[in-house]
Each structure stands twice: as C-alpha cells, then as structure tokens.
Amino acid sequence: MMYEIFMRYVLFKPTLWANELCLWLAGVCYLVGGIYATRLRSHIRIVLLYDWVSRPTQRIFDLISTLIIVLFAAAVIYGGMEDAYRSFINWERFATYWDPPIPATMKPLTLLCVFLIALQSINNLIIDWRNPKEKQYDPSKELK
C-alpha cells in the first residue's frame, strides 16, 4: 500500500494492481488467521457462566459449541462447494483491468479454512476433555 500511495500521490502514476493485490493478501491473512486464532484459542469466550459451573457441565458446553462450529462448517462447505468448484475450474477472475484470479483462489481457500477451523475445534475439544476444570479468567495475566 505504501508503494501505491507513493506512486499515486508523489509520482502521479498509480498502479493497476497494488490495491487488488492487497485485497487478495488481506483475504488470505484473514482466513489463515482464523485457523491460527482457533489453534491459540484466542477467540472471544463468554466465561460468565462457564467459570461458575462444574467440569462435567463445562464439558457439555464445550461439546455444544464444537457441534455448532462443525455444523456451521458443514453448512458453509455444502453451500459453497459448487460455486467454489465452478470458480476454480473456470479460473474466475476479478473483472478489473489487472484481472487477478481472486475468486478462483479465495472461494476454495475459504472452504478449506472453514474445514480446518472445524477440525481444530474438534482437536481442542479432545484436549479439553482430558484436562481438569479450567481456572477462572485472570485479567492480571493479560498485563504481563
């Protein structure tokens, strides 16, 4: 983006590709970031009720949330498979002057990332079920 700003406002020769490339890369970072956040368990978690219940009840909450994630992933994959396949096979492009294949790459990557997030959620559930009761959230840990 800095290159595009320099070219556009200093040299008065804007690029045809920089904005679309940044859009493409940001989309990939967003999708892969979802997998990474699931791996690190850094998604928002509502602990108001979770911390007050016993470990068996926490396991039920974990199971319900994992089932919801897996069902959501299955619905997204089922609903998007045909469009992603068609987009990839036809090498669908972005329909601009530079015309990169953003749809042809991002649609299948979205389905792959949603699948991997569901898989990581199942892995997190298995790991969580083996552990004793989680400790309550301690805000002082965030300050270190």
Domain for residue 142, yes or no?
Answer: no
Residue 81 is part of which domain span? 2-134
Domain for residue 6, yes or no?
Answer: yes
Domain for residue 105, yes or no?
Answer: yes
Domain for residue 88, yes or no?
Answer: yes
Alpha carbon distance 96, 112 (integer Å): 26
- Inter-residue contact 90 to 104 (CB < 8 Å): yes
57-77 as b/e: b if 16+ CB within 10 A: ebbeebeeebeebbeebeebb
Domain for residue 144, yes or no?
Answer: no
* C-alpha to C-alpha distances, 47 to 35, 52, 104, 142, nearest whole angstrom: 22, 8, 39, 16
Domain for residue 115, yes or no?
Answer: yes
Domain for residue 109, yes or no?
Answer: yes
Q: Which candidate, 140, 133, 142, places its Cα nearest to that of 52? A: 133
| Total domains present in the chain | 1
Instruction: Average pLDDT across each block of 10 residues of the chain; the chain has 144 residues. List them in order.
Output: 90 90 95 94 81 89 95 98 98 93 97 98 92 65 62
Domain for residue 140, yes or no?
Answer: no
- pLDDT of the residue at 10: 94
